Chain A
């Protein structure tokens, strides 16, 4: 069946969010919730979605949303999931957290929840900086990107949170990107059929943070995948499968410069840093290809 026809028409993110124009994170959330359906609770730590959902007494969300402090999302979801399961309820518990709340301040609670086998889905939407506070560097910011706390470009590499999650050996983990909403939808559906902790890491291009025109938000995600700066894959019970768009990119990536040039955050990036980024892409391709080929 055609995936577009399969995606429900029901909307759980109403057209009254306070998201920025061209926000890909709210687009992601729309497809996440279409896949999850109404018997779902979102647990949201401090992040853009804290604001996007609307201001009291209004909400744009048509599922229950539990807002919790920055470092506490996975722990809160852990308690919630256990309470639901103890009561015999199958309600989906989904953490929807940014890169700061996942890679940085929330990593301890997340690691603990994964290690304890919590029955939940953790989604990290990654705009590669602290967007809600005005684009400060996070562990998810790529090398060379300018943020308000790395005004000449970040000198450290992006933290490989997926490798850290993989070390917890969850039944299902995947990467996704807002430019491929059908892929987001399918991966969320698949994650929610698993018992235990599952993880989806979604790249979420951010027009004001990455400094590109709002109408280019889908294009920017596609350029990230086509250049190999972002690789789409899923790992079910430890078995890796690279997703179709990235399979093509791994065979023949577009020049990295095509991804970097349209973004203000990479303005003035030096040749040496571009070379390091290219090397990382190749290393990542090789690593994933080897893992996929392994018996």
Chain B
């Protein structure tokens, strides 16, 4: 069904169709519209679910954990400080192998208070064992949320999935949305380690040095296995509903001599910049990284790489740039731009490519790029 929706509404619509048994959530700008919409679905009987209006994000994730371990589908949404506040519990959800699905509306971190887009919030969750996908359109926010349940709950994965969408520049933007009837695309959840009083088991108790690492390794093993599950799920989604997604979204990369890599909405806007550059005779392409965890294998042989980070690791560098350097062994041009909603035009994006100086870092608006 074709409609017009915000990124937030698109996520809520997908959640309604996935029918989680329990949604536990706490409001935070710019995510609030997601949980308000879900609360309305539950209250009006459109979604047969328990909506738990918790008193904090730490409790939101703890409640999802408690619900999930009974073997039911769970969802929550958060952003920025909310995500940071639940950090202890995001680790717990992954360690407990619970397929919680969460939408995170990417927003900067205080102080000072800033409610606009940035990726540092989700990237601080990099090492928790969550799968992370970054979307760029309202349609993709919807599609990725539907797929997140399938991937998280797949018994080769059983890890939580975070769907990331940029604050305001996607969460509050109206775009066309074509909804589907998911049918059996999302199979019934089967949690092999669900709590059963008839088979009493202790969960997460004291685990000694001879055992603890085995559980950690098992998270990594499933993270590696998730690659095939993601591919299969995206393929099945394309087959059923006609929209194709990969680990990356590549634009004019085949013959490109330089590739601009970004996540989220910048990754989509980069396509306009690439067209500008092509008209100037610069053989450029763009690659929008969709999946950050598991981090995909990138083929960038023979190409120069410009990485746009809407995030930063102080004392170290752009987080995405680091990941790409580590994986491809390439020296990149690292651009830091869009922090806290900083305006970046199509021409600015093109300029990052035009004026690239490989092996250096450039803070947009701080350094002079000459």
Other A-B pairs, 9, CB within 8 Å; known A50-B206, A66-B66, A86-B22:
A41-B197, A50-B205, A56-B208, A59-B201, A75-B54, A76-B66, A79-B52, A83-B74, A109-B59
Residue of B63, B64, B88 with most chain A CB atoms under a 10 A cut-off: B63
Closest to A115 in B: B55
Let me know if B72 and A72 touch, CB within 8 A.
no
CA of A37 to CA of B179, assembled, Å: 47
On chain B, the residues within 8 Å of A85 by CB distance are 50
CA of A85 to CA of B66, assembled, Å: 13
CB distance from A55 to the nearest CB of B (A): 5
Contact of B52 among A38, A50, A55, A82 (CB under 8 A): A82
On chain A, the residues within 8 Å of B49 by CB distance are 86
CA of A167 to CA of B69, assembled, Å: 31
Let me know if A66 and B69 touch, CB within 8 A.
yes
Decide yes or no whether B97 CB sits under 8 A from chain A. no
Interface residue tally on B, bucketed by range: 35 or more
Contact of A83 among B66, B88, B196 (CB under 8 A): B66
On chain A, the residues within 8 Å of B60 by CB distance are 75
Let me know if B197 and A68 touch, CB within 8 A.
no
Contact with A along B318-336 (1 / 0, CB 8 A): 0000000000000000000
Known interface pairs A56-B208, A72-B58; A80-B69 also in contact (CB < 8 Å): yes
Closest to B207 in A: A56
Closest to B59 in A: A75
8 tightest A-B CB contacts, nearest first: A112-B55, A79-B63, A79-B66, A75-B59, A80-B66, A75-B62, A79-B67, A76-B66
CA of A168 to CA of B200, assembled, Å: 32
Let me know if B202 and A65 touch, CB within 8 A.
yes
Let me know if B62 and A83 touch, CB within 8 A.
no
Contact with A along B85-106 (1 / 0, CB 8 A): 0001100100000000000000
On chain A, the residues within 8 Å of B124 by CB distance are none
Let me know if A79 and B55 touch, CB within 8 A.
no
Let me know if A82 and B22 touch, CB within 8 A.
yes
Interchain residue pairs with CB less than 8 A apart (10): A43-B66, A53-B206, A56-B206, A64-B195, A72-B89, A75-B54, A76-B65, A79-B66, A79-B68, A109-B56
On chain A, the residues within 8 Å of B50 by CB distance are 82-83, 85-86
Q: For window 87-115 of chain A, which residues contact chain B by CB distance below 8 Å? A: 87, 91, 108-109, 111-113, 115
CA of A38 to CA of B60, assembled, Å: 28
Known interface pairs A40-B197, A69-B62, A80-B70; A116-B202 also in contact (CB < 8 Å): no
Contact with A along B31-62 (1 / 0, CB 8 A): 00000000000000000011011111011101
Let me know if A54 and B205 touch, CB within 8 A.
yes
On chain B, the residues within 8 Å of A68 by CB distance are 62, 65-66, 92, 204
On chain A, the residues within 8 Å of B199 by CB distance are 64
CB distance from A14 to the nearest CB of B (A): 11
On chain A, the residues within 8 Å of B204 by CB distance are 66-68
Closest to A65 in B: B202
Closest to B201 in A: A64
CA of A69 to CA of B62, assembled, Å: 9
On chain B, the residues within 8 Å of A69 by CB distance are 62, 88-89, 92
Known interface pairs A79-B62, A80-B66, A115-B55; A55-B207 also in contact (CB < 8 Å): yes
Contact with A along B65-87 (1 / 0, CB 8 A): 11111101010000000000000
